[in-house]
């Protein structure tokens, strides 16, 4: 059995981890990461010009701001929400509990060589 310790990036908002960082090939799935958002905090306000982002809330509920729209996602009603490439988006926790989310990309622009997150 091999136990790989993930490099978690923690701050006062919560954590971010990439569970696939030790794999050499993930096929069509790329940039998978889990993160938490503490009550009253936000993450995001960025785009991904080289890929889409699919979102699944694992615990709690989160508000997603995208394209001048608002979508509320909840672990109570599990669904995969897809954010198209170059769509600016922000996640906000307006609840009193920590939210846990997992995101990944299933579409990457072929031959894209730039930074795929723009803040």
- What are the Cα distances from residue 24, in Å, to 6, 17, 20, 30, 75? 15, 17, 9, 11, 30
**Do 103 and 58 form a contact (C-beta atoms < 8 A)?**
no
Residue with the larger pLDDT of the pair 19 and 66: 66
Average pLDDT over residues 10-39: 81
List, for residues 54-77, the tens digit of each pLDDT value.
899 999 999 999 999 999 999 988
> What is the C-alpha to C-alpha distance for residues 113 and 119, in angstroms, rounded to an integer?
17
Give the rounded distance of the alpha carbon of 64 from its chain centre: 11
Quickly state the pLDDT bin for 36 (edges 50, 70, 90): very high
The span from the CA of 30 to the CA of 21, in Å, is 10
Residue carrying the six token digits 């170059």: 86
pLDDT tens digits for range 102-115: 998 877 776 655 55
Annotation: CATH topology of 9-105: Jelly Rolls (2.60.120)
Using the predicted structure, report yes or no on whether residue 47 has a pLDDT greater than 60. yes
């Amino acid at each position: 059995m091999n136990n790989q310790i993930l490099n978690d990036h923690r701050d006062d908002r919560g954590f971010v981890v990439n569970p696939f960082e030790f794999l050499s090939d993930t096929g069509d799935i790329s940039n998978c990461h889990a993160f938490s958002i503490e009550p009253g905090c936000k993450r995001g306000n960025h785009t991904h010009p080289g890929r889409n982002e699919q979102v699944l809330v694992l615990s709690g509920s989160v508000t997603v701001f995208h394209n001048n729209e608002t979508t509320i996602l909840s672990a109570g009603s599990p669904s995969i929400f897809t954010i198209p490439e170059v769509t600016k988006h922000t996640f906000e926790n307006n609840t009193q509990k920590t939210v846990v989310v997992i995101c990944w990309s299933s579409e990457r622009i072929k031959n894209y060589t730039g930074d795929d997150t723009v803040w």
